[in-house]
Amino acid sequence: MEKYRDYTAVDFLNDESFLRWISEPTQKENDFWNNFLKTHPYKKADIKEATLVFKLFYSRENKLALNEQYDLWKKIQDEAKNSKRTIFLKLAKYAAILILVFFSGAVTYYLYQNGGQQYQYELAETPQTTKDEAMIVLSDGSQISLEKQMSQISYSQNGQQLIVNNDTITQKTPTEGGLINKIIIPYGKKSMIMLSDGTKVWLNAGSQLIYPSVFSEKTRQVMLVGEAFFDVAKNTEKPFVVRTTDISIHVLGTRFDISAYPEDKLIQTVLVEGKVNLTYSGKGILNREYSVEMKPNQMVVVNKSTGESRSQTVDVSKFVSWKDGMLEFEKVDLVRALKQVERYYNVRIQLADPMIGSFKLSGKLDLKEEPEEVLNVIKLTVPIDWQKKSNGDFIIINK
Amino acid sequence: MYSVENKDDERLIWSRFLKGDNHVLSLIYLQHSNSLFDYGCRFTIDKELVKDCIQEVFCSLMRTRNNLSETDNVRLYLLKSLKRRIIRELKKTDHQPRLLNDQDYPFDLRWSESLDDQLSELDEEKRLRLADAMQSLTDRQKEAIYLRFNRGLEYEEISFLLNLNYQSSRALIHRAVEKLREIIRVPNKNFGQVLLAILCHSREHAF
């Protein structure tokens, strides 16, 4: 710390640690530099100046969209496969890996930990709406289908056994680290899963969750596409982290709901109790990474395209009622409510006139009924009517 | 978030790749594809060309694996290889005479739009002077600045990419930094406030 005492703005801009701090700070750097500012208040002006020059020079970045990144990778793989220069055996192994990794059209992310321990996360670009089957994909690629409308899954503490709707399945876990499992819930289905640490996750229709069978890392990490309600088992030693494409949520033990469907422009997080930290790490430049501390009854909505977030106090029960088979709305745009009905029942609902979508809907819908019944209830509160087309799609018309 | 955290891991991945483990190539790809794409887009607005060149970079990486060594700096190797390919392509398609010289290719560097908003509170004259100073940078100066501040490269690495010696690349950046600093330095009440606002903004989002 002493060497920085006489640093000018230019010196700071030449210092690797300083540059890391103002571009991609780690906790260590934040601690160091915040402490430095506290103990050397007269350096504030120089640091401000250096930071501004950095900001002026830091240029807007072009980023590959997730699907572009994936497509490009596939092209590289294809070209590699076609190349006759590679020894055949090597190639065969390579192709096998490819099929496994990209089987579901997913981009694979790896997380390397010290000592070369390898974790593999698959982040699907979109939930597989074409497949109507709910399933768990084990790390060896084998699939367990979940036949029920609402499946119950729970993992034993050592992650070696999972109970799916009363059937017990055993998977061999390596001595170190867990296996990566994935659960896929198509539209029209739901599931509740208890992870090996006791955390309960309710997955809404059209969602996927990727998680290790045991949490052997410093943090308990899962990845989510779609919507889920989390009741996180308390463990102050190992924070629980939920990642989505654009945000991640850090918690110790709490209950909250995240809705991050790929087709939605907004990612919505609602906190029921406890405390969570929401970190945005998407596009946008100066604010390409920020975090918000959330309080109970708060909802934070992040706009995926601009990276902006806004928060408001809400009645949380309305946002988590889906897990009990109810949908509750308070002055929600009809189009958004219908979207949820679509996902829940796996049906298509069209609007005859886009203006209909902006009607505000309030009230409770019981999702145990048939979709027709649900639309009839909606009909009572907003001036619409519905018809069923020959292909089974619903069409909403003005009354 | 998905990146490889430290240099040891990076070396480990590289050495596994060199030993024939193709599985780790996706790691290298995921770690570097976005920064390669961004670097490439500085030379041309043709994004498809940039993507094609990135594809070639990785394919040639697999082909030339046996000629590479454990001590190679992966990121630098990829950046250099991409730049060479893009400039070669630009020369082929672009008939502008300025591209005949390897040092003459354009480089796009402008400050982010969100900063623009914040600077708009600044008085017109200062803003113009800052914009002016940015525009008066040479293309190579822009590239050096970009590599330093956006990509976080060290001076040795920058010199390698720009085919310059260590001193010259340092001087390129130093001159640009000084220029902006002079403008900022001039005491001005309004500006102080803006500066503070920008800082508060950036600190808020620090972690």
For B22-42, write each residue's pLDDT tens digit: 767 877 887 888 899 999 999
Residue range A291-316: mean pLDDT, rounded = 85
Interface test with A, best of B5, B23, B148 (most A CBs within 10 A): B23
d(CA B89, CA A102): 31
Q: Are β-strands A220-231 and A240-243 bridged in parallel, bridged antiparallel, or unpaired? A: parallel
Top CATH class, A103-313: mainly beta
Interface test with A, best of B4, B15, B26 (most A CBs within 10 A): B26
Nearest CA in chain A to B35: A63
| Domain match, B117 and B200 both | yes
| Domain match, B65 and B137 both | no
Tell me: pLDDT of B4 over 50: no
CB A254 within 8 A of CB A274: yes
d(CA A108, CA A92): 20
Q: What is the average pLDDT score of chain B?
A: 79
3-state secondary structure of A282: coil
Angle of the B25-41 helix axis to the B74-93 helix axis, nearest 10: 50
Q: Which residues contact B61 (CB under 8 A, 6 or more apart)?
A: B25, B28, B68, B78, B81
CB A155 within 8 A of CB A143: no
| Domain match, B74 and B46 both | yes
- The 10s digit of each residue's pLDDT in A304-361 is 777 788 888 888 888 888 888 888 887 888 888 888 888 888 888 988 887 888 888 8
Contact B62 A80 (CB under 8 A): yes
- Give the number of A-B residue pairs with CB atoms closer than 8 Å: 162
Q: What is the largest CA-CA distance in chain A?
A: 79
The residue with tokens 């700070």 is A25
Closest partner CB to A109 (pick from B30, B63, B207): B30
B176 contacts chain A (CB < 8 A): yes
Per-residue model confidence (pLDDT) at position B158: 94
> SS in 3 state form for A144-200?
EEECCCEEEEEECCCCCEEEECCEEEECCCCCCCCCEEEEEECCCCEEEEECCCCCE
Closest CA to A169 of A155, A184, A185: A155
Residue A331, burial from CB neighbour count under 10 angstroms (0-12, 13-18, 19+): exposed
d(CA A108, CA B25): 11
Residue range B96-113: mean pLDDT, rounded = 70
| Domain match, B31 and B95 both | yes
Tell me: pLDDT of A171 over 60: yes
CB A166 within 8 A of CB A206: no
Closest partner CB to A285 (pick from B27, B112, B134): B112
d(CA A225, CA A204): 10
Q: Which residues contact A346 (CB under 8 A, 6 or more apart)?
A: A132, A186, A187, A188, A189, A205
Residue A107 parent element (H or E) = strand A106-112
Nearest CA in chain B to A17: B152
- The 10s digit of each residue's pLDDT in B88-98 is 888 877 665 55
User: What does the block give as tokens for B35?
Assistant: 């920064």
* pLDDT confidence band for A174 (50 / 70 / 90): low
Domain end residue (candidates: B69, B100, B131): B100
B8 contacts chain A (CB < 8 A): yes
The CATH number assigned to the domain holding B179 equals 1.10.10.10
* pLDDT confidence band for A255 (50 / 70 / 90): confident
B174 contacts chain A (CB < 8 A): yes
In a domain, B135, yes or no: yes
Closest partner CB to A52 (pick from B51, B58, B184): B184
Per-residue model confidence (pLDDT) at position A98: 38
Q: Which residue has the higher pLDDT, A86 or B149?
A: B149
Tell me: pLDDT of A279 over 60: yes
Range of the domain at B182: 113-204
Domain end residue (candidates: B55, B70, B100): B100
Per-residue model confidence (pLDDT) at position A87: 44
In a domain, B125, yes or no: yes
Task: List CB contacts (< 8 A) between A58 and chain B.
Answer: 111-112, 149-150
Closest partner CB to B20 (pick from A19, A85, A90): A90
Domain end residue (candidates: B48, B65, B100): B100
Residue range A83-112: mean pLDDT, rounded = 39
B30 contacts chain A (CB < 8 A): yes
Residue range A162-183: mean pLDDT, rounded = 74
Closest partner CB to A72 (pick from B55, B112, B149): B55
Nearest CA in chain B to A60: B112
Residue range A92-108: mean pLDDT, rounded = 37
Amino acid at A10: V
Q: Which residue has the higher pLDDT, A126 or B133?
A: B133
Q: Which residues contact B170 (CB under 8 A, 6 or more apart)?
A: B155
Q: How many residues does chain A have?
A: 399
* pLDDT confidence band for B79 (50 / 70 / 90): very high
Minimal C-alpha gap between A21 and chain B (Å):
8
Residue B50, burial from CB neighbour count under 10 angstroms (0-12, 13-18, 19+): buried
Amino acid at A146: L
Tell me: pLDDT of B1 over 50: no
Residue B143 parent element (H or E) = helix B139-145
Phi, psi of A87, deg, nearest 5: -65, 140
| Domain match, B17 and B91 both | yes
| Domain match, B96 and B127 both | no
State the architecture of A325-398 in CATH terms.
3-Layer(bab) Sandwich (3.55)
Contact B12 A116 (CB under 8 A): yes
* pLDDT confidence band for A170 (50 / 70 / 90): confident
Residue A311, burial from CB neighbour count under 10 angstroms (0-12, 13-18, 19+): middle
In a domain, B180, yes or no: yes
Alpha helices, DSSP H only, in A177-316?
none
Minimal C-alpha gap between A323 and chain B (Å):
30
Tell me: pLDDT of B145 over 80: yes
Minimal C-alpha gap between B146 and chain A (Å):
7
Number of folded domains that form chain B: 2
Contact A48 B115 (CB under 8 A): no
CB A162 within 8 A of CB A169: yes
Closest partner CB to B149 (pick from A54, A111, A286): A54
Per-residue model confidence (pLDDT) at position A122: 37
Closest CA to B130 of B140, B122, B138, B142: B122
Provide the residue ranges of all domains of chain A, joining segments of one domain with +. Answer: 2-57, 103-313, 325-398
Tell me: pLDDT of A211 over 50: yes
Tell me: pLDDT of B193 over 60: no
Interface test with A, best of B116, B177, B191 (most A CBs within 10 A): B177
Q: How many residues does chain B have?
A: 207
Tell me: pLDDT of B206 over 50: no
ipTM exceeding the 0.85 mark: no
Minimal C-alpha gap between A337 and chain B (Å):
33
Residue range A13-39: mean pLDDT, rounded = 85
CB B115 within 8 A of CB B51: no
In a domain, B1, yes or no: no
Interface test with B, best of A52, A90, A107 (most B CBs within 10 A): A52
